[in-house]
A and B are shown apart, each in its own frame.
Chain A
């Protein structure tokens, strides 16, 4: 049976990936900025910000309330680096991704089709969201695997 803890964790990852995809959408639209796609760029930026906020809330609640038990398992298992490196980096790098995501709707207010500097800024910020966001997603997969190998009795032998 799927429990709240599972829904929170899966929603955290799903919102994170959707936020990255929305940032990538903003990046692609900004590459070809015109008056006709200005509203789509703003929509993509707001979806990015919303998804990262939702990912923060879901992941944060799960991390604070449910992660300590998984952390104990990881540290006793064969992959302690899943916590010591991947979770420690992920839980702090995520804040940088989120701040960039909240910045994106602000900077897409500029007329990108008429402003090369603003276009360059939006391209940079959206690319950084995708890169850091995917790094955080990848770290999440390693953390999950750290729990899995800790629970497989034959894996550590």
Chain B
């Protein structure tokens, strides 16, 4: 094991995944709070869940390309983007579980 860096595409898409996973939870909570948002998302594809999934995918791809081109992930460093990814999954998962326990 000699190298400790990630290429710009890898680190960019890892960061994009972390942001998308947090966005996914935020959007789920927002849909619960706002009936008009849920209705608007339903109008787009016929079901709010379908729109939700497509929005996640588009965000992941777009942010991945942007973060790769701007080298944002590379600037943060390999260990930082890995920690951000792990942290985002923990926060997003607990956020969903706690929300649906109390709502």
Residues of A within 8 A of B (CB): 56, 60, 63-64, 84-85, 88-89, 91-93, 95-96, 98-100, 102-103, 106-107, 109-111, 113-121, 124-125, 128, 132, 135
Contact = CB atoms under 8 A, between A and B. Distances in A.
Contacts of B13: 103, 106-107
B6 A100 contact: no
Query: Which of B14, B21, B89, B96 has the most C-beta atoms of chain A within 10 angstroms of its own C-beta?
Result: B89
B52 interface: yes
Interface of B: 1-7, 9-10, 13-14, 17, 20-21, 24-25, 28, 46-47, 49-50, 52-53, 56-57, 60, 78-79, 81-82, 85-86, 89, 92-93, 96-97, 100-101
A89 B100 contact: yes
Contact of B89 (A60, A96, A107): A96
B89 A106 contact: no
Secondary structure of the B side of the interface?
helix
B37 to A, nearest CB: 14
B79 A117 contact: yes
Nearest to B83: A124
A96 B92 contact: yes
20 contacts: A63-B49, A92-B52, A93-B93, A96-B21, A96-B92, A99-B21, A99-B57, A99-B60, A100-B17, A103-B13, A106-B13, A107-B10, A109-B10, A114-B3, A115-B1, A117-B82, A121-B10, A121-B85, A125-B85, A128-B89
B78 A121 contact: yes
A110 B6 contact: yes
Query: Which of A99, A116, A120 has the most C-beta atoms of chain B within 10 angstroms of its own C-beta?
Result: A99
Sort A-B residue pairs by CB-CB distance and give the 6 closest, nearest first.
A117-B78, A116-B1, A92-B28, A115-B3, A117-B4, A88-B100
Nearest to A96: B21
